[in-house]
């Protein structure tokens, strides 16, 4: 084969490889919202849930993202651990991990919540998936000891696994009837708007810092 032909063949191969790499990088940045009814949009209409509104807000800021809802109403940290592997598909680049509220409402020991979240974070780290850990806070009526133990779970684990922490998923919404459904627990559509507004800068930082983010 002449030099010109070898050069042309090499050039075609190089361009093909570049095209394959480009294709592999193409497509939206994949985020999974993994949690309970707060993530699943309990009591809200189509498009009003947290993941839908987060996706819309990120796209409005110019990010090519896909935010999937892997929230299950009533889920505890034990239930989340049991379904983590199949609920977070391969190719996921960021998980917003939001669990623990139902553990607290049921009075489950904070040690169990800690153990389950620890295992989930370990599994996601093994899969090299970035995590934003969304914290929860215990209700005061459960007592000071329970409140102290439960509230410490989230910052402790974020530090252990070196993942981003959003201290309180319901920041600005908890205790605000105008932003909640009649049950006094779940956010209404306006409440979700505020949640998304407050968490958005943190999510944006994680997207831009992650491989393939923009």
109 is catalytic: no
Please pick, among 37, 69, 77, 103, the residue that the annotation labels catalytic: 37
Please pick, among 90, 145, 162, 183, the residue that the annotation labels catalytic: 183
The rounded distance, in Å, linking the Cα atoms of 154 and 56 is 27
78 is catalytic: no
The answer to whether the beta carbons of residues 110 and 117 sit under 8 Å apart is no
The answer to whether the beta carbons of residues 100 and 113 sit under 8 Å apart is yes
Torsion of CA 202, 122, 110, 80, to 10 degrees: 80
What burial class does residue 91 get, using C-beta atoms within 10 Å of its C-beta: 0-12 exposed, 13-18 middle, 19+ buried?
exposed
183 is catalytic: yes
Please pick, among 69, 77, 186, 193, the residue that the annotation labels catalytic: 186
Positions annotated as catalytic residues are 37, 183, 186
């Amino acid at each position: 084969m002449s030099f010109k032909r070898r050069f042309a063949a090499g050039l075609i191969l190089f361009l093909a490889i570049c095209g394959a790499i480009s294709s592999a990088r193409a497509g939206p940045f994949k985020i999974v919202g993994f949690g309970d009814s707060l993530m699943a949009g309990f009591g809200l209409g189509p498009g009003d849930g947290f993941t839908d509104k987060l996706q819309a807000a990120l796209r409005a800021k110019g990010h090519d993202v896909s935010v999937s809802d892997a929230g299950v109403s009533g889920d505890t940290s034990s239930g989340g651990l049991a379904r983590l592997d199949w609920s977070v598909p391969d190719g996921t680049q960021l998980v917003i991990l939001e669990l623990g509220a139902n553990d607290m409402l049921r009075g489950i020991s904070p040690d169990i919540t800690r153990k389950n979240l620890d295992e989930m974070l370990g599994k996601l780290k093994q899969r090299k998936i970035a995590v934003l850990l969304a914290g929860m806070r215990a209700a005061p009526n459960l007592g000071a000891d329970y409140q102290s133990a439960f509230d410490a779970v989230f910052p402790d684990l974020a530090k252990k696994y070196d993942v981003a922490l959003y201290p309180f998923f319901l920041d600005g919404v908890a205790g605000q009837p105008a932003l909640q459904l009649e049950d006094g627990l779940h956010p209404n559509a306006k409440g979700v708007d505020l949640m998304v507004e407050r968490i958005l800068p943190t999510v944006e930082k994680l997207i831009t810092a992650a491989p393939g983010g923009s």
